[in-house]
Structure 1
Amino acid sequence: MTRWISALSVYRDKRILSITLLGFSSGVPLLLTASILQAWLTQENVDLTSIGLFTLVGLPYTLKFLWAPVIDNIRIPVLSALIGRRRSWLLLLQAFLIAATLALAFSDPKADLFHVAVAALVVAFASASYDIIVDAFRIEICDEKNMAAGAATYVYGYRVAMWLTGFSSFVIADYFGWTISYMVMAAFILIGTVTVLFTAEPEVGETAAEEKAPATANAYLDWLKTSVIDPFLNFMGKPDWLIILLFTVLYKFGDSLAGAMTNPFYLQTGFTLTEIAEIVKTLGTVAIFGGLFLGGWLLAATTMYKALWISGLLQMVSNLMFAAQAAIGPDLSFLALTIGIENVASGMGTAVFVAYLSSLCNVAYTATQYALLTSLMAVARTVLVSPAGWLVERTGWIEFFIITTAAALPGLALLWYLSYRQPIEQQEEAA
């Protein structure tokens, strides 16, 4: 019991506040191209198949590892010398993200759905690029003791942003329209700008790639190998690295598949925008916070694989609550129960999984390796879930959510393999 109580002390670290606020600024744009955009398109009577395909605008989250080496290793002229390598990239990408969000704000689904898709794609690209540098910054200011707590509080900030954008965007859209709503969302990103100005650069030595950054054209190939190829070769030196990458894709697949169509589900079931804002966004965020806290606490008190097992099983079972909700209909009390159970499980899974991915990174290649892992994780919520709307139209909501429950099984099967292999690896290291 003493061990569990003492584990709570990791949340008192002073670096947690900066991580939380940067997590907030990183979380603001996610829903703007996901569930908030789904609600906007649903109100504009866009068909479910098209709404489902809009998940593909999240492809930059899947492909961000391709340009992560640039953000990881290149110094921005002048600005980098003034405020540091990581902080200069943070400020530059914040400005880009705000501009992209404003472009989406002034698009019109009725007039040109393709323009909306392009604008959303640019926002996703800016957001994914920003995530690269925020993740690197977070990992580099944490140590082994507070890595899990840092991951949990980062997601706390991320989820606060998701709640605030989810709740306020719906309310603002009801009164002033979606353009004003998205303009306000863009202003929220400024929280990250203020945080960067008052946060010190991580005290981490230059990466191997940065030390060999090309001063001349003849040195370019050597830099390319060190900054782009070496991070991936380093990761490929891990035992079962292919299984780890596949596990990264599939661990939260069932959760992502269900989440791809939740707002259309709420609206078509009969809930209003205000009810969604009050229950799904507000109560759901409280439940997410509880799950994040439990996930960080669980990981501090037990092993990584035990925490992954507990969280993964809870995530799978919680999807059945949506199937029950579909059968019951627009009952607000049951919706509160559904959201509470599902979000606690999702929060636990997110905190533990982010900590797991962070633990896999070599500090010499932090941004590049973490971008690779989170890119693969994003495959589940972008490419793999894109047929979700088509699936709903051909099966119905109850059957769809049962399918999402079964979709969690491949990830758990890979977790069984990895947790079986771990004792073997520990024996080899001891030997």
Structure 2
Amino acid sequence: MLQQHPVGKRPSPVSVFVAVGGLYVGQSVIGGLTFLGLPAVLRTAGLPLDQIGLLYLVVLPWALKFLWSPYVERYRLPRLGKNRSRRIVAVGVSICASGLLILAYTGPSPVSVAIAVLFVVAMVTATVDIACDGFAVEALAVEHYGWGNAAQVGGSYLGSAIGAGLFLVLVDYFGWKNATTAMAALLISLALPFIFGPAAKAKPETREQIPSIRHALKRPQVRTGLLVAAVYVAAQKWGLAMLGPFLIDYGFDLVTIGALNGMGSMIVGFGGAILGGALVRSFGSSRVLILSIATQTLLLCAFATFSLNRDIAHWMVMTVAIVSSSGVMSIGFVALYACFMGWSDPRQAGVDFTLFQCMDGIVSMAGGLGAGAIAARFGYATSFLIAAGVSMLAAPIILLLMRRHVK
């Protein structure tokens, strides 16, 4: 039985939702800018798809952060003393904002420079995320995990709306430098509720367990959960890796993509996160995961059809894109992240939760690099159909794992 912190030591759940939600928004601003906004900018400038696909190398820190998560967690949770989440977040966000300022002046190309800067930003953001997730799991009671997931996933979509939506609009109207500088200032603002909120009220504690990867991998929930995460992320994310370039090649301009992505993420994505929480509460995580995969399979087949029939109305293409990348994804990931929280040991939540997220990062990076190469050589239709096939195979595998191995 996992030990929970005494209820009296926990901060107000609402204050935790606001604090961690702000950090999740900030992290996703960077992610949306990197993986959705920047690819569209580069494609507009005429860069080939295989070079754009190299941006997914920036996922590498998120895939490997489990290597340093025990050290971050040991620093964050000393054997005797206060929780240091606040210090990690404050320093990390300052470095990330500085990285975006550098990128504002160096520009989006050459791609190698942008990747180098964003790689450093990703390293720091991934480290901050270890502290943020660990703090959320230990600060919230089990009955509040669902709302914690809603704050996480909803904040992620709001951040993506800004990074992939508002950012593109700002680039089109005010230029790269001004738009990227605005994103840096926004990161600082979003971190303030955490820095001056519940994390600032930490009390000294005595802790017996030393966080470690070995402790995590000894638990069957973690081992099987990693398999579930890998299969689910492949089913949901691989097909959407080239969505931004596809929309550009279909005839959409940056302003249209930015505006519709932004509205889609803010309304459909955030709404999907709330709906996902309700569905998980009513029907359970496994059923919601399977439902989202089945729906995504159909939508990927629709994208393959669009790529072969370029006379389909733009409003229909964009509607499917918003439903797929915002609605279905948000519902499914609320269910998946609820599982992550439940499978994590509160005494080293930063390590356990990080392992699950690293599997997400590894599979996402592989899919992004592969999708770019496949789309460049065989076309968008082949890329979407392969992703749909992966989704079809994923559903029964996840169902089997959830029923037999994860309790």
Please indicate the TM-score interval, normalised by the length of the shorter structure: 0.7 to 0.9
Once the two structures are superposed, residues 51-104 of structure 1 have per-residue CA deviations (whole angstroms, 9 ceiling, x without a partner) of 112211210010011111222121599xx98x8511111111111111122222
Query: Residue 141 of structure 1 aligns with which residue?
Result: 139
| Whole-angstrom distance in 2 between the partners of 1:107 and 1:269 | 29
| Whole-angstrom distance in 1 between the partners of 2:203 and 2:144 | 16
Contact 1:284–1:339 under 8 Å retained in 2:
no
Look up the equivalent residue of 1:269 and give its one-letter code.
Y
Which of 298, 303, 318 aligns to 2:279? It is 298
Q: Which runs of 5+ in 2 are unaligned?
A: 1-12
Query: Residue 98 of structure 1 aligns with which residue?
Result: 97
| Whole-angstrom distance in 2 between the partners of 1:62 and 1:289 | 25
Identity %: 22
Q: How does 1:217-296 map to 2 (within 5 A)?
A: 226-227=210-211, 231-239=212-220, 241-296=222-277
Query: Residue 323 of structure 1 aligns with which residue?
Result: 304
Look up the equivalent residue of 1:317 and give its one-letter code.
L
| Whole-angstrom distance in 1 between the partners of 2:207 and 2:283 | 32
Query: Residue 216 of structure 1 aligns with which residue?
Result: none
Contact 1:287–1:344 under 8 Å retained in 2:
yes
Query: Residue 332 of structure 1 aligns with which residue?
Result: 314
| Whole-angstrom distance in 2 between the partners of 1:341 and 1:121 | 30
Question: What secondary structure, in the 3-state scheme, does the structure 2 residue paired with 1:46 have?
Answer: coil
| Whole-angstrom distance in 1 between the partners of 2:237 and 2:317 | 19
Contact 1:107–1:119 under 8 Å retained in 2:
no
Query: Residue 414 of structure 1 aligns with which residue?
Result: 397
Q: Which runs of 5+ in 1 are unaligned?
A: 1-11, 210-225, 427-431
Question: What secondary structure, in the 3-state scheme, does the structure 2 residue paired with 1:252 have?
Answer: helix
Q: CA RMSD in A?
A: 2.5
Once the two structures are superposed, residues 23-53 of structure 1 have per-residue CA deviations (whole angstroms, 9 ceiling, x without a partner) of 2222221123211221222123221111112
| Whole-angstrom distance in 1 between the partners of 2:38 and 2:230 | 24
Q: Does the alignment pair 1:367 with 2:350?
A: yes
TM-score by length of 2: 0.88
Q: Residues 192 and 208 from structure 1, CA distance in 2 versus in 1: closer, same or farther, beyond 3 angstroms?
A: farther
Query: Residue 131 of structure 1 aligns with which residue?
Result: 129
Contact 1:319–1:402 under 8 Å retained in 2:
yes
Look up the equivalent residue of 2:144 and give its one-letter code.
N
Question: What secondary structure, in the 3-state scheme, does the structure 2 residue paired with 1:355 have?
Answer: helix
| Whole-angstrom distance in 1 between the partners of 2:204 and 2:270 | 30
Look up the equivalent residue of 2:323 and give its one-letter code.
I
Alignment length, in residue pairs? 390
| Whole-angstrom distance in 1 between the partners of 2:225 and 2:77 | 33
Look up the equivalent residue of 1:281 and give its one-letter code.
G
| Whole-angstrom distance in 1 between the partners of 2:309 and 2:42 | 25
| Whole-angstrom distance in 1 between the partners of 2:132 and 2:303 | 33
Q: Does the alignment pair 1:402 with 2:390?
A: no
Q: How does 1:24-103 map to 2 (within 5 A)?
A: 24-74=25-75, 84-103=83-102
Look up the equivalent residue of 2:19 and give its one-letter code.
S
| Whole-angstrom distance in 2 between the partners of 1:166 and 1:176 | 16
Q: Residues 43 and 206 from structure 1, CA distance in 2 versus in 1: closer, same or farther, beyond 3 angstroms?
A: farther
Shift of 1:157: 1.5
Question: What secondary structure, in the 3-state scheme, does the structure 2 residue paired with 1:382 have?
Answer: helix
Q: Residues 74 and 241 from structure 1, CA distance in 2 versus in 1: closer, same or farther, beyond 3 angstroms?
A: closer
Question: What secondary structure, in the 3-state scheme, does the structure 2 residue paired with 1:37 have?
Answer: helix
Q: Residues 109 and 274 from structure 1, CA distance in 2 versus in 1: closer, same or farther, beyond 3 angstroms?
A: closer
Once the two structures are superposed, residues 203-236 of structure 1 have per-residue CA deviations (whole angstroms, 9 ceiling, x without a partner) of 7955445xxxxxxxxxxxxxxxx33xxx323322
Question: What secondary structure, in the 3-state scheme, does the structure 2 residue paired with 1:321 have?
Answer: helix
| Whole-angstrom distance in 1 between the partners of 2:77 and 2:217 | 30
| Whole-angstrom distance in 2 between the partners of 1:121 and 1:279 | 27
Question: Which range moves more in the overlay, 49-58 or 283-292?
Answer: 283-292
Once the two structures are superposed, residues 265-290 of structure 1 have per-residue CA deviations (whole angstroms, 9 ceiling, x without a partner) of 11111101111122233134311122
Larger Rg computed on CA atoms? 1
| Whole-angstrom distance in 2 between the partners of 1:344 and 1:168 | 19
Contact 1:315–1:349 under 8 Å retained in 2:
no
Query: Residue 333 of structure 2 aligns with which residue?
Result: 350
Look up the equivalent residue of 1:349 and give its one-letter code.
G
Question: What secondary structure, in the 3-state scheme, does the structure 2 residue paired with 1:195 have?
Answer: helix
Shift of 1:391: 0.3
Contact 1:53–1:387 under 8 Å retained in 2:
no
Query: Residue 158 of structure 1 aligns with which residue?
Result: 156
TM-score by length of 1: 0.83
Look up the equivalent residue of 2:275 and give its one-letter code.
L
Contact 1:326–1:397 under 8 Å retained in 2:
yes
Question: Which range moves more in the overlay, 275-284 or 198-207?
Answer: 198-207
Which of 177, 182, 185 aligns to 1:184? It is 182
Query: Residue 119 of structure 2 aligns with which residue?
Result: 121
Question: Which range moves more in the overlay, 84-93 or 14-23?
Answer: 14-23
Contact 1:248–1:373 under 8 Å retained in 2:
yes
Query: Residue 19 of structure 1 aligns with which residue?
Result: 20
Q: Residues 109 and 303 from structure 1, CA distance in 2 versus in 1: closer, same or farther, beyond 3 angstroms?
A: closer
